[in-house]
Amino acid sequence: VLTQSPGTLSLSPGERATLSCRASQSVTSNYLAWYQQKPGQAPRLLIYGASTRATGISDRFSGSGSGTDFTLTISRLEPEDSAVYYCQQYGSSPWTFGQGTKVEIK
C-alpha cells in the first residue's frame, strides 16, 4: 500500500512543494514513479526509479528517497503545476498507485 501526504497542498507561485509517498513495505529496486494529472487529461510520467526525470520534464521537478519513503519536490511553483500527483510502485506485481496529492496554486 502506498500512502501519500498531504491530501491537498495549497501554495503560492514561487514556493516549494514537498509531496510524500510512504510504502507499507520496501519498494523493490526503488522502482517508484511519480505522475502528474491535470483535470480531463491522462496522467503524465514525471519521475521514475525514484529520482530520474522522464524525457522533457522540467528540472523544477525532482524525486528522492529509497526503501519505503519517497518525496517529490517541485521547486519554484508555477500556475501550470496545479494538478493531482500520484506515486506508483512498479517493482512488484500488482503495480499500485497512491491515492494522490492535489496541489493548488493560490
Positions that interact with other proteins (CB under 8 A): 29, 31, 33, 35, 37, 41-45, 48-49, 54, 86, 88, 90, 93-100
Residue 19's DSSP bridge partners are: 72
Kindly tell me which of 76 and 104 has the beta carbon lying closer to other proteins.
104
Give the type of residue at 25: Q
Give the separation between CA 33 and CA 53, rounded to whole angstroms.
10
Give the type of residue at 13: P
Kindly tell me which of 73 and 97 has the beta carbon lying closer to other proteins.
97
Give the type of residue at 77: L
Q: How far is the CB of 7 from other proteins (least distance, A)?
A: 11
Give the separation between CA 45 and CA 27, rounded to whole angstroms.
18
Q: How far is the CB of 94 from other proteins (least distance, A)?
A: 6
Kindly tell me which of 67 and 95 has the beta carbon lying closer to other proteins.
95
Q: How far is the CB of 95 from other proteins (least distance, A)?
A: 5
Cβ pair 81, 37 in contact under 8 A: no
